[in-house]
Amino acid sequence: MLNNNFLALVVTVVVALLWLRSNDYLTHRGSISPQISRKMIHTGTGPVFVLCWLLFSDDPSSRWLAALVPLGITIQFILVGVGAIKDQASVPAMSRNGDRQEILKGPLYIEGLFYCR
């Protein structure tokens, strides 16, 4: 366990981004298919985050710091899905057909809130 919860937060963000970006990179290179990448992202991101919980202290405020990581990733996915962020590497890795708006149909199913056609 790290003594500093802010350091744990930084490590967790870095590990999560490395996991997501490595999937984006492998998909972009053609090393893995978008279907495999989606499954790896869905099944791997949660366990990576849960393993990083061990870095945080038992202090009650640490749960809020830890929650910033999935919140930040979710906000990033929303911004990519609505087109506010152009991320041509992550769209094929997270969608079935290469349409950025499909990202909004994921675990949150928020397409109706951000319908952009």
Q: Backbone dihedral region of 96: left (phi > 0), alpha (psi from -120 to 50 degrees) or beta? A: alpha
CA distances from 86 to 43, 46, 56 (A): 24, 24, 32
Lowest mean pLDDT among 41-50, 71-80, 101-110: 101-110
Q: Is the pLDDT of residue 111 over 80?
A: no
Tell whether pTM > 0.95. Answer: no
Check residue 11 and give its pLDDT: 94
The model's confidence at residue 55, banded by pLDDT at 50, 70 and 90, is very high
State the Cα–Cα distance between residues 62 and 107, nearest whole angstrom. 25
Residues in the chain: 117
Average pLDDT over residues 59-83: 87
